[in-house]
Structure 1
């Protein structure tokens, strides 16, 4: 949290908010990536069974 406050003081509010949102979204982006990879595997299997 101290690092976040330093960023806020040095870089401004907009930079701090952008960094916070990127950190929060990282896990969601990773989950979305895994879901898309799983979908790709499933679609490949379906195509192979045709």
Structure 2
């Protein structure tokens, strides 16, 4: 049990950073997908 606690405390910070970065990437990808989906509508106005 002590080994598990040590392992979690050692890898907890990298896991937290990874989750944070993945969340930020997901938000940016959602914006890219939305932009691509609205592209045909914007192209009609040109």
Q: TM-score, normalised by structure 2?
A: 0.67
After superposition, the CA RMSD in angstroms is: 1.5
4+ residue segments displaced more than 2 Å? none
Unaligned runs of 5+ in 1: 1-10
Bigger relative contact order (CA 8 A; separation at least 6): 1
Q: TM-score, normalised by structure 1?
A: 0.64
